[in-house]
Amino acid sequence: MMLQIADVLSPAQTQTCLAELAGADWVDGRVTAGFQSAEVKHNAQVPEDHPVARALGDMIVTALERTPLFISAALPLRVFPPLFNRYAGGQSFGTHVDNAIRQVRGTPHRIRTDLSATLFLTPPEQYEGGVLTVEDQFGVQGVKLPAGHMVLYPASSLHHVTPVTHGARIAAFFWIQSMIRDDAHRALLFDLDNAIQGLGRDIPGHASTVQLTGIYHNLLRQWAEL
């Protein structure tokens, strides 16, 4: 399941991110790439343990906790601390797949990467190229979103970022370990949750709402890994 989520960050928050990142240290993006990814990754990145990255990452995680659509779709168990990258001057990221397991730097914690997320920070009219292109079961989809908007997709998907030929594209990226490992199960729960909410809005107090909610939680109970 691939999902676009609007307004994860407000315009003021995206401006704060861009202002703080402008003064941060940037290094070769290959520092967090696996063997295959390193061969096709050409961008810059703020180090994981940089104070700016940590502060802005905390802000993003807090914003995610207040985004019902993200919670419903991802059913997050753990969120990898957000990282920040920049593409400019023709930089790109060739076709690759994300590592299945990520170590949280400076801790003993690891997460399984069920979902990948890109949160766009630069307004799309300020750069050319930089399209996140994801290959999934429904074909190839290109994504270039307004600042503050995010795309969520299975980390098992092949994906790439097209060259940025003008301006600079700055974004946050991170991974989520879901309570529901299987993408198909997660999609079913998301659809069911949406149906329950829709029924509650259209026919308040309908008895089926309780029954469907019970089915949702029984499936969650059966499939969840904590």
DSSP string, 72-83: HHH-EEEEPPPE
Between the two ends of the chain, the Cα-to-Cα distance in Å is 21
Quick one: pLDDT at residue 136?
81
- Identify whether residues 129 and 188 lie together within a single domain: no
State whether residue 39 is helix, strand or coil: coil
- Which secondary-structure segment (H or E) carries 219? helix 207-223
Quick one: pLDDT at residue 87?
98
Quick one: pLDDT at residue 68?
97
- Identify whether residues 94 and 19 lie together within a single domain: yes
Q: What angle do CA 100, 104, 108 make, to 5 degrees?
A: 105
- Identify whether residues 123 and 199 lie together within a single domain: no
Whether the pLDDT of residue 32 is over 80: the answer is no
Looking at residue 152, its amino acid is L
- Identify whether residues 63 and 157 lie together within a single domain: yes
Per-residue pLDDT, averaged over 188-211, amounts to 96
Structural domain harbouring 65: 3-178
Place 31 in a pLDDT band, splitting at 50, 70 and 90.
Answer: confident
- Identify whether residues 135 and 149 lie together within a single domain: yes
- Identify whether residues 206 and 168 lie together within a single domain: no
Per-residue pLDDT, averaged over 33-55, amounts to 87
Burial label for 179, CB within 10 Å (0-12, 13-18, 19+), is middle
Quick one: pLDDT at residue 194?
97
| Spatial separation of the C-alpha atoms in residues 157 and 132, rounded to whole Å | 12
Q: Domain of 205: which CATH number?
A: 4.10.860
- Identify whether residues 172 and 195 lie together within a single domain: no
In the predicted model, what is the mean pLDDT of the chain?
95
Q: Domain of 102: which CATH number?
A: 2.60.120.620
Residue 131 · residue 151 · CB < 8 Å: no
- Identify whether residues 132 and 55 lie together within a single domain: yes
| Spatial separation of the C-alpha atoms in residues 206 and 185, rounded to whole Å | 26
In the chain, the number of structural domains is 2
**Which residues are bridge partners to 5 per DSSP?**
150
Whether the pLDDT of residue 79 is over 80: the answer is yes
Per-residue pLDDT, averaged over 218-226, amounts to 97
Instruction: Give the model confidence (pLDDT) of 123-168 as tens digits.
Output: 999 999 999 999 987 789 999 999 999 999 999 999 999 999 999 9
Quick one: pLDDT at residue 34?
66
- Identify whether residues 94 and 174 lie together within a single domain: yes
Whether the pLDDT of residue 33 is over 70: the answer is no
Closest CA to 124 of 74, 84, 162, 73: 162
- Identify whether residues 167 and 188 lie together within a single domain: no
